[in-house]
A and B are shown apart, each in its own frame.
Chain A
Amino acid sequence: MKHYVNDVLKRLEPFDKACQYCGQGNSEDMNENFFVPVFKEQDRTNIVVYRSVKYKKILIGIPRCHSCLEIHNSAGNKAKLWAWVGAVVVFILCLLTGAPYVIIAGIFLLIFGGFFGSHLLEKQFVRDRGILTKLDGAKENETVQEFIIQGWSFTQPSA
């Protein structure tokens, strides 16, 4: 048994303290652990004009030390800043051309660059510090592996 159920917060909390991200530190506070959400589809309705999906969600705690928590948080903030500033600069350059197609392309670049860029940069910044990303660490957890094998998913089902 690696986890126990916290009925109040509706999540699985780990017994283990050893940090899953650096393999050196220990988790000192339950709220500093990373809680990865996993989902399981229960019912889906797909009619041409109506789509709906019902699913279950549970949070699984991954032990994380204070140092790894700080690395994850700072990498996330830094990545968002860099990606959005970069995307806005590219968008302004597209605006300056005055060509409608370039401006439309600039809007797409702004949105995709901001969201995907921050996601990719965050992963890179975390790896540069020599620890696992939040999701990579979760993938090493045996409880998470069991849930995925039983048909749960890291991706939230959408209608």
Chain B
Amino acid sequence: MEPPLPHQQLNEIRQDLSSGTFLYESAIQKLMQTGLDEESARNLLLNLVKERRKELFEQKLQKQDAEGAREVCFIITVMTAIVGPVFNVASALWYMVAMLIAGVAGYYGFKDKPVAGIIGSILLVIILPFTYQYYFSGRSSYIRIEFLIPLFLALVPAAVAAFLISLIFYPERKNQ
């Protein structure tokens, strides 16, 4: 009959693997003290290492996916926000739809801080027509690169608001 699995020791080794204090030989000794033979201890340890590698791999993939989604959602939000001012759309319905699209994009782009993402994106849609009007009113000629200036002027308060909201709603993630 095989000895029962040493759960307490396995959990300790898992913690060592997570904290970076893992030592192979000491882990083997720890498992062998529970009655396991050397081969079983090595196999158990190999499985733990594989389990840990898979965990790190999935964390990394999730992080990469979130960064990719953030970029795409940011582009969608900016594109949606500039349509109204650039094409002189006066319809309130369009701005409602634009806020809805920006809100959804903000949610998916900042899934770890959804309230900040939603409010920041909606604010961009609301503020951009005003900064656009402020910058271009009374102008008859301009160069294309100038479009970035009202966009930047709108991005700053939206980003600051999103940052403050993230501090209020997600204080535990302020270092992320």
Contact = CB atoms under 8 A, between A and B. Distances in A.
Chain B binding surface, main DSSP class? helix
Interface centre among A139, A149, A155 (most CB of B within 10 A): A149
B56 A149 contact: yes
Interface stretch (A8-16, A87-95, A108-116, A140-148): A140-148
B54 A155 contact: no
Given A48-B148, A49-B145, A153 B53 contact: no
A149 B53 contact: yes
A6 B124 CA distance: 51
A148 B148 contact: no
Q: Which 5 A-B pairs have the closest CB atoms?
A: A145-B57, A149-B56, A148-B60, A153-B64, A148-B57
Interface in A38-80: 48-49
Nearest to B61: A148
Given A145-B53, A148-B57, A149-B56, A155 B64 contact: yes
Given A148-B60, A148-B61, A149-B60, A155 B53 contact: no
Interface residues of B, number: 11
Interface residues of A, number: 12
A146 B53 contact: yes
Interface string B142-156: 000100100000000
Contacts of B54: 145
Contacts of A154: 64
Nearest to B57: A145
B68 interface: yes
B74 to A, nearest CB: 13
25 contacts: A48-B145, A48-B148, A49-B145, A139-B57, A139-B61, A142-B50, A142-B53, A145-B53, A145-B54, A145-B56, A145-B57, A146-B53, A148-B57, A148-B60, A148-B61, A148-B64, A149-B53, A149-B56, A149-B57, A149-B60, A151-B60, A153-B64, A154-B64, A155-B64, A155-B68
Given A48-B148, A145-B54, A151-B60, 17 more contacts: A48-B145, A49-B145, A139-B57, A139-B61, A142-B50, A142-B53, A145-B57, A146-B53, A148-B57, A148-B61, A148-B64, A149-B53, A149-B56, A153-B64, A154-B64, A155-B64, A155-B68
Contacts of A151: 60
A148 B53 CA distance: 10
Contacts of B50: 142
Interface string B75-112: 00000000000000000000000000000000000000
Interface in A96-150: 139, 142, 145-146, 148-149
Nearest to A140: B54
